[in-house]
Structure 1
């Protein structure tokens, strides 16, 4: 690898490279060398910007959680439009069609990463807990419009857990929209 290569937005480049490596090779393939090779930079670049690889991974995970904010706002704004089941189906496909499933495996795979995340994220796996909040907020809005009668506190984690099970095999074919929609309508008890 050449050294001295000027990188613009180093963090974004390294996070993008980590995204691609994680999707392609899974948690066991995500190494500092793999990330820097994917980003086309020297290994030292990562270590100049992060204390160590687990610090990089913790910031990578939290960056991916922050990216869910826009999706959460879009979902909340959809309350009262379309059908609840369609809105939830689209949101779940977007969450689990991203790198979220691989991040869950990564957090499970690396003890030090979990320890680092606990410093700022007290419980759960960040992408999943943030997705539960996103779904709960949307369901609260729909409940306020009398379009959902179930309890958002129970429905949101059930929807996220069920969707995660549908998408969990990151090497297989992801479920189609019809399968996700069927799961959503089942969890909602046909009310959407």
Structure 2
């Protein structure tokens, strides 16, 4: 793209370029030059819209995490329907098959990026924290509906599920786990919420 041509929705074009690089080549390949080359624009375009590259990355991470909000609303709306195991399995698969799993190593890879994100996320790792909050809200709703025991603890179950799912999906270069593997993990993690003779519904 010629340097003098104005980019439509330049921020989103740069974010989309960053996502493609992150998914294809990993966090170490994510540089300002790589992003602008991928987006087909001059390097100066990025710096006209962001104070520096870490400011760009912080906004990129926030933008991608905000895209989880419709998914969180859908999961919460599913409370009381289907099965809890299937609902959680589908939600975790959607989170970790997206760019979310690649954002986690990006955040851990760059100290300055973590510092910028601490302004919004004072604790935990973005994406993982948000996924846990999404599941906590859903499991709390299912408990209120009586589909989880009254003494179930969504605040403990949710991070357990997110952590276990992250382990399944963490190898970006390997074969992603199939639905059966994710479902077995969810069933196992949720089984602790039930009495010995009960099964997750």
Give the TM-score band, short-chain normalised: over 0.9
Counterpart position of 1:116: 116
**Superposed displacement of residue 5, structure 1:** 2.1
Counterpart position of 1:191: 200
**Structure 2: gaps spanning 5 or more residues:** 192-198
The within-5 A match list for 1:6-155 is 6-149=6-149, 150-155=152-157
**Once the two structures are superposed, what CA deviation does each residue of 1:87-122 show, in whole Å capped at 9, x if it has no partner?**
000000000000111100000000110111112221
Larger fraction in helix = 1
Query: Could you tell which deviates more after superposition, 53-62 or 144-153?
Result: 144-153
Structure 1 runs, 4 residues or longer, greater than 6 Å off: none
Counterpart position of 2:165: 163
CA RMSD, Structure 1 to Structure 2 (Å): 1.0
Q: Report the TM-score when normalising by structure 2.
A: 0.93
Partner of 2:127, secondary structure, is helix
Provide the C-alpha distance between the structure 1 equivalents of 2:142 and 2:40, rounded to a whole number of angstroms. Answer: 46
Provide the C-alpha distance between the structure 2 equivalents of 1:185 and 1:120, rounded to a whole number of angstroms. Answer: 33
Provide the C-alpha distance between the structure 1 equivalents of 2:184 and 2:155, rounded to a whole number of angstroms. Answer: 21
Partner of 2:35, secondary structure, is helix
Rg larger for = 2
Provide the C-alpha distance between the structure 2 equivalents of 1:140 and 1:121, rounded to a whole number of angstroms. Answer: 22
Q: Report the TM-score when normalising by structure 1.
A: 0.97
